[in-house]
Amino acid sequence: MKVYWAPQTRSTRAIWMLEEVGIDYEMERVDIRSSDRKDSDEFLAASPMAKVPAISDGDTSMSESAAICLYLADRYSTGVLAPKIDDPQRGKFLYWTMYTPAVIEPAMAEKFSNAEPNRVRNGWGDFDSMIETFDEALEEKDWILGDEFTAADVMLGSSAVFMRMFDMLPDTRNIGAYADRCLARGAFQKAAEKAGG
């Protein structure tokens, strides 16, 4: 298993997930900020847009953090970090795993750019409805599906930590404490240390 990464990117999610799964992997740093970079064929096979994170796992290669989390959970930790296909929780798991790229990130981009919110036009609603939905889903739960941490929490937790780090997280009943629980996980701390520089 190889993970292609760069510091201060979404790569931390893939590394966090690899730490949660507990398999051996190597890291290959990609200088995404270089104007004269020369990407390897192996990296471009995993990430045609030359974005990080990306992984190579034998004959399988892919990019996009949510896809990587789903793949790793299903391949290496089904029933633990991902509900099995026939588990009634599977639908909620898929929804919440995709909530970060489909809802949180577009809503944050809207807020960063001071774009006029439009809940009807935008598939993500708006920043306030994104926060409200996320916060309500955590009511009386440690993790998004209940008592058990899953790959969906890697995606959501990274977003909660990011929003708090950049002072975007409003005062909520649940998201701040959820971010604290994510930060306290040993796998998160190892990933942050490895991806920090």
- 47-63 per-position pLDDT tens digit: 999 999 999 999 999 99
CA dist., res. 117 & res. 194, Å (int): 37
Report residue 184's pLDDT band, with 50, 70 and 90 as the boundaries: very high
Residues 45, 60: Cα–Cα separation, whole Å:
10
Dihedral angle computed from the Cα positions of residues 142, 144, 145 and 147, in that order, rounded to the nearest 10 degrees: -10
Residue 144 has pLDDT above 90, yes or no: yes
Query: Does CATH number 3.40.50.2000 belong to domain 2-77?
Result: no
Contact, 1 vs 168, CB < 8 A?
Answer: no
What 8-state DSSP symbol labels residue 63?
E
The CATH number of 90-188 is: 1.20.1050.10
Task: Report which of 37, 35, 29, 38 is spatially closest to residue 11, judged by C-alpha positions.
Answer: 29
Domain ranges of the chain: 2-77, 90-188
**pLDDT, tens only, 3-49:** 999 999 999 999 999 999 999 999 999 998 888 888 899 999 999 99
